């Protein structure tokens, strides 16, 4: 990754921040995007003090003009784009029957349209560089997770978009990676939206028993280097779940229902 120019969205925390630190340690030049200007400035100071080249651009990926500005600012500063990591995302936890439909729309705007907008404006430079587009997805993009209708829908949509993008550019050298980390210790569950749009606040899962964001970032870096098509992390909740969903979907539906119902204050039992 030495001297590669990498855009990372959702870079202020969790997997995005871990990727920023991991890629910087490998010699990359970073263009970091997130909604929080204050957090971006803190990260910029941390990484520049360590001798890394960093550009930060406050960005709301649900706004097309912000995504275009992100690509423009990156090219203006570094002259190219080699890798785009579509990481920005939000989650939810509520039954569909109780859900305000604006919440579902909000998840689609960030998780799906955010990836579409950023990819659209970075694509000419990525094609020129024969670079990589990465979608940080979830196991929820392979199976429908109960209580996460909007989240699963947005990740399924991301998969369809990225798979088609890969096929369209099959002869142009574009690398497309769909990365599904599984349950990862991060703040995504604390900020998950409930049925009325408020933030969940407390995570319903044992974060200390999950894969760390730093480990996920290392796996993503290796997958980009190897130009892998798909990265599914963890065995039981990742690889095995995706495998069984293809051959025994009714079993996976029962298992996922029972698994999610065990969460504290689960919206269903």
Structural domains of the chain, ranges and CATH numbers in brackets: 5-239 (3.40.50.720)
Write the DSSP assignment of 124-189 as a string of letters: HHHHHHT-EEEEE--GGGTS--TTBHHHHHHHHHHHHHHHHHHHHTTTTT-EEEEEE--SEESSTT
Residues in the chain: 269
**Predicted pLDDT at 43:** 96
**Predicted pLDDT at 189:** 46
Q: How far apart are CA 199 and CA 192, in angstroms?
A: 6
**Predicted pLDDT at 5:** 98
**Predicted pLDDT at 204:** 53
Tally Cβ neighbours within 10 Å of residue 220.
25
Tally Cβ neighbours within 10 Å of residue 267.
18
**Predicted pLDDT at 257:** 74
Rg over alpha carbons for the chain, rounded to the nearest Å, is 18
Helices 14-25 and 37-49, interaxial angle, to 10°?
20
**Predicted pLDDT at 195:** 67
Catalytic sites, residue numbers? 151
pLDDT tens over the chain, length 269 residues: 999 999 999 999 999 999 999 999 999 999 999 999 999 999 999 999 999 999 999 999 999 999 999 999 999 999 999 999 999 999 998 889 998 899 999 999 999 999 999 999 999 999 999 999 999 999 888 888 888 899 999 999 999 999 999 999 999 999 999 999 877 655 554 567 776 666 665 655 555 566 899 999 999 999 999 999 999 987 567 677 777 778 877 877 777 777 777 777 777 66
């Amino acid at each position: 990754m030495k001297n590669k120019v990498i855009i990372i969205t959702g870079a202020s925390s969790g997997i995005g921040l871990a990727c920023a630190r991991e890629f910087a340690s490998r010699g990359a030049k970073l263009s970091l995007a997130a909604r929080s200007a204050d957090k971006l400035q803190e990260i910029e100071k941390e990484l520049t003090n360590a001798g890394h080249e960093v550009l930060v651009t406050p960005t709301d990926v649900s706004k097309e003009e912000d995504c275009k500005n992100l690509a423009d600012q990156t090219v203006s500063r570094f002259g190219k784009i080699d890798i785009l990591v579509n990481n920005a995302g939000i989650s939810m936890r509520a039954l569909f029957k109780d859900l305000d439909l604006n919440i579902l729309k909000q998840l689609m705007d960030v998780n799906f349209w955010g990836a579409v907008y950023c990819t659209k404006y970075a694509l000419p430079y990525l094609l020129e560089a024969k670079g990589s587009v990465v979608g940080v997805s979830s196991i929820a993009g392979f199976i429908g997770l109960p209580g996460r209708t909007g989240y699963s829908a947005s990740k399924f949509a991301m998969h369809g978009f990225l798979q088609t993008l890969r096929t369209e550019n099959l002869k142009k050298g574009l690398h497309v990676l769909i990365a599904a980390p599984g349950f990862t210790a991060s703040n995504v569950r604390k900020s998950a939206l409930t049925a009325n749009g408020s933030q969940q606040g407390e995570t319903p899962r044992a974060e200390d028993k999950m894969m760390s964001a730093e480990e996920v970032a290392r796996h993503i870096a290796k997958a980009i280097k190897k130009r892998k098509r798909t990265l599914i992390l963890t065995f039981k909740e990742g690889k095995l779940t995706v495998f069984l969903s293809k051959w025994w979907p009714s079993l996976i539906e029962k298992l996922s229902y029972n698994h999610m119902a065990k969460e504290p204050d689960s919206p269903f039992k």
